[in-house]
Amino acid sequence: MKKLINNPNEVVQEMIAGIVAAYPNQIEQVKGTSILMRKGAPTPNKVSIISGGGSGHEPAHAGYIGKGMLDAAVLGEVFTSPPVDQVYEAIKAVYRDPGVLLIIKNYTGDVLNFEMAAELAEAEGFHIAKVIVDDDVSVEGSTNTTGRRGIAGTIFVHKIAGAKAELEGTLEEVKAIAEKTIHNVRSMGMAISSCTIPAVGSPSFNLAEDEMEIGIGIHGEPGIERKPLAPAKEMTEELVEKILRDMALQQDDEVAVMINGLASTPLMELYIINNEVQKILENKGINVYRTFVGEYMTALEMGGCSITLLKLDEELKTLLDYPSDAPNFLMK
Amino acid sequence: MKKLINNPNEVVQEMIAGIVAAYPNQIEQVKGTSILMRKGAPTPNKVSIISGGGSGHEPAHAGYIGKGMLDAAVLGEVFTSPPVDQVYEAIKAVYRDPGVLLIIKNYTGDVLNFEMAAELAEAEGFHIAKVIVDDDVSVEGSTNTTGRRGIAGTIFVHKIAGAKAELEGTLEEVKAIAEKTIHNVRSMGMAISSCTIPAVGSPSFNLAEDEMEIGIGIHGEPGIERKPLAPAKEMTEELVEKILRDMALQQDDEVAVMINGLASTPLMELYIINNEVQKILENKGINVYRTFVGEYMTALEMGGCSITLLKLDEELKTLLDYPSDAPNFLMK
């Protein structure tokens, strides 16, 4: 295992210290926890939004804490759901009367722990709403998942729900727009190289030197197929076709595009993939309103990418464009 | 070679198409060239700023095109200086009367080609100034370099000179602030894994499974030493000590910090390194004004990082904080 770390069992705590040190005016740690929150949260009269999950997907989710996005992120150990008590502590830390929305990626452990924390909080009279993101069209259930997995499309849910909350939407309104975003977003990924959980020390899976895996999950969960590495054009066509088969997109519809690097794949290659995606959409008469290319939801040092399409209407466009000062999703 | 590309000989052109497709309202290609420029450039009454160099260091430099940073970036082939005629075309494309500043990383080919292009333009009566960035303290000359190499500190030069130009500084003033930034910035890098130039197809160098190289360049040029991979704490101490030995920093001085990933190193590890850097600076009584953690100047898919410190005064702080809408250096 070749990593720039100290103790493999302390990577999350040391990372948390490094995040707070990087953004001391924006992000603070809830003392004694693995919760990061927007400095000064909760904001009066605003629904608070919490997301989180296992670590190893940075900048997800701590990098999306800020005005216009998340109020708190709960950080589990690497590829491990955060425990119930941490989610519950996060709710208490950022709670204000309009209530709290939990944005949960669809993994069995995450769903269970976030839901149990919500029940605990509701028993105390807190208003809690929750949505589950399952944007990954590759497989209908996988290791650690009942139903589709939640992957990079989650960031669009953070962004749009966060904007609605900033505009003082009610808990019901913020939940409704998050659900609309989930309804409209689809993603799919692929990998060319594996990753190693620090505390494990050996690769989570292996791919041959000429092999790629289509539809792989962000923890290395099996996808659809392993096959010889194809040129970017063919690979992109396969991912986009699968996404479009699952979306009701018509000519002249507008979408946001996210080309997400899993970590080891350089920006150069993500731009080459973006070029292919845009050509496919242009040929189908689908208009691209806005494009995001970069690392948004990674998988430790895995090589590969995911492609996300979000179908937009005027309401979603306005909220997508709303300012954010989250360190990893700055928008003016 | 395992890359998400099509033709290894067309990666730069396909990447350019992917960048323009991602930011169609901000960046345009100068037709028939490998030059990207700010849409609508040149801006009246503003010094134009051009940088560039070999590709493979994305987001450097095209991602820094925008209001408050660069007016154009000249993209060479991978790890190859852009030819004289392309630099000359870039000057012509963004030229306005206050003149053009060229920000050049210190590599023999880059310096030669940018200087020859400047001479051609000056012969036509254009006002050209140039600065050479040599922030890498690791070695005093290396493959392709006379004197120190220019690495991630270059981004701070883009940012600060770009702000001064936006504030309608004269060519002399913009050049002077760029030189002051160069005088105040120091960087050093290290690698744990190699990279492969697409058109070559085999790794540029090899490191053993337990080995790191301290002081390596962003093209894999030899550094100071190869030795067993150390914990992040020790490695960071070594880089920061070497940087500080070369800088006249006193207690209570203020700095900007950049923790730059070379590409394969996940953000999690960059935050762990940031935590170590901040502890060292705190122990020395050096105040951190602002921190940047991410991928700013990469080396294809190389694994590793660089650390940059920029000594600040009130003038540099104001310019560092000035708004930028460059896609990879957004600041409000």
* DSSP-assigned states of every residue in B116-148: HHHHHHHHTT--EEEEEE--B-S-SSBTTBSSS
Q: What is the largest CA-CA distance in chain B?
A: 56
How far apart are the C-alpha atoms of A259 and A279, rounded to whole Å? 14
Q: Are residues A190 and A254 in the same domain?
A: yes
Sort B272 into a burial class: Cβ within 10 Å, 0-12 / 13-18 / 19+: buried
Q: Are residues A174 and A216 in the same domain?
A: no
Task: Specify if B238 maps to a domain.
Answer: yes
Q: Are residues A117 and A231 in the same domain?
A: no
Q: Are residues B194 and B99 in the same domain?
A: no
Task: Specify if A204 maps to a domain.
Answer: yes
Q: Are residues A190 and A224 in the same domain?
A: yes
Instruction: Write down the pTM of the prediction.
Output: 0.98
Q: Are residues A146 and A241 in the same domain?
A: no
CA-CA distances (angstroms) from residue A184 to A52, A153, A187, A285, B62? 21, 10, 11, 18, 32
Q: Are residues A16 and A146 in the same domain?
A: yes
Which range marks the domain in which residue B211 is found? Answer: 185-313
Residue B244: per-residue pLDDT:
97
Of B18, B323, B325, the CB nearest to A271: B18
Task: Specify if B322 maps to a domain.
Answer: no
From B130, B164, B183, give the residue that closes a domain.
B183
| Sheet architecture: strand order including A27-29 | A27-29, A35-38, A72-78, A48-55, A100-105, A128-133
- What does the pLDDT look like over B160-176, one tens digit per residue? 999 999 999 999 999 99
Q: What is the mean pLDDT of chain B?
A: 97
Q: Are residues B137 and B246 in the same domain?
A: no
| CB < 8 Å to B233, chain A | 6
Closest Cα of chain B to A185: distance in Å?
Answer: 19
Helix or strand (DSSP H, E) at B226 = strand B225-228
User: From the candidates B61, B127, B183, B219, which is the catalytic residue?
Assistant: B219
| CB < 8 Å to B292, chain A | 22
How far apart are the C-alpha atoms of B218 and B188, rounded to whole Å? 10
From B183, B203, B238, give the residue that closes a domain.
B183
- Could you list the pLDDT tens digit for every one of the 332 residues in chain A? 999 999 999 999 999 999 999 999 999 999 999 999 999 999 999 999 999 999 999 999 999 999 999 999 999 999 999 999 999 999 999 999 999 999 999 999 999 999 999 999 999 999 999 999 999 999 887 778 889 999 999 999 999 999 999 999 999 999 999 999 999 999 999 999 999 999 999 999 999 999 999 999 999 999 999 999 999 999 999 999 999 999 989 999 999 999 999 999 999 999 999 999 999 999 999 999 999 999 999 999 999 999 999 999 999 999 999 999 999 999 98
Residue B219 annotated in active site: yes
How far apart are the C-alpha atoms of A178 and A161, rounded to whole Å? 5
Residue A145: per-residue pLDDT:
83
Residue B145: per-residue pLDDT:
83
Q: How confident is the model at residue B208 (pLDDT cuts 50, 70, 90)?
A: very high
Task: Specify if A69 maps to a domain.
Answer: yes
Q: How confident is the model at residue B142 (pLDDT cuts 50, 70, 90)?
A: confident
Mean pLDDT, rounded, for B51-63: 98
Residue B140: per-residue pLDDT:
87
ipTM of the complex: 0.97
User: From the candidates A61, A127, A183, A219, which is the catalytic residue?
Assistant: A219
Sort A248 into a burial class: Cβ within 10 Å, 0-12 / 13-18 / 19+: exposed
Q: CATH number for the domain including A152?
A: 3.40.50.10440
Encoded amino acid at B297, one letter = M
Task: Specify if A325 maps to a domain.
Answer: no
Q: Are residues B170 and B265 in the same domain?
A: no
- What does the pLDDT look like over A71-96, one tens digit per residue? 999 999 999 999 999 999 999 999 99
Helix or strand (DSSP H, E) at B100 = strand B100-105
Residue A77 contacts residue A12 (beta carbons within 8 Å): yes
How far apart are the C-alpha atoms of B274 and B291, rounded to whole Å? 9
How far apart are the C-alpha atoms of B114 and B50, rounded to whole Å? 10
Are the Cβ atoms of B271 and A19 closer than 8 angstroms? yes
Q: How many CA atoms lie within 13 A of B120 on its CB side?
A: 15
Of B13, B72, B68, which Cα lies nearest the Cα of B39?
B72
- What does the pLDDT look like over B81-118, one tens digit per residue? 999 999 999 999 999 999 999 999 999 999 999 999 99
> Rounded to an integer, what is the distance from CA A2 to the centroid of its chain?
26
Q: Are residues B112 and B195 in the same domain?
A: no
Residue A61 annotated in active site: no
Q: CATH number for the domain including B243?
A: 3.30.1180.20
Q: Are residues A217 and A137 in the same domain?
A: no
Closest Cα of chain A to B198: distance in Å?
Answer: 11
Q: How confident is the model at residue B143 (pLDDT cuts 50, 70, 90)?
A: confident
Give which of A2, A3, A4 to mutate to test B binding, by max B Cβ within 10 Å.
A4
- What does the pLDDT look like over B121-130, one tens digit per residue? 999 999 999 9
Residue A75: per-residue pLDDT:
98
Task: Specify if B93 maps to a domain.
Answer: yes
Residue A288: per-residue pLDDT:
98
Are the Cβ atoms of B268 and A229 closer than 8 angstroms? no
CA-CA distances (angstroms) from residue A207 to A213, B194, B240? 8, 19, 37
pLDDT at B74 over 80: yes
Total number of domains constituting chain A: 2
| CB < 8 Å to A293, chain B | 18, 22
Task: Specify if B303 maps to a domain.
Answer: yes
| Sheet architecture: strand order including B254-261 | B225-228, B211-214, B185-193, B303-312, B254-261, B287-294
From B183, B203, B224, give the residue that closes a domain.
B183
> Rounded to an integer, what is the distance from CA A258 to the centroid of its chain?
11
Closest Cα of chain A to B177: distance in Å?
Answer: 26
Task: Specify if B166 maps to a domain.
Answer: yes
Instruction: State the SS3 of B22-64.
Output: HCCCCEEECCCCCEEEECCCCCCCCCEEEEEEEECCCCCCHHH
Q: Are residues B171 and B26 in the same domain?
A: yes
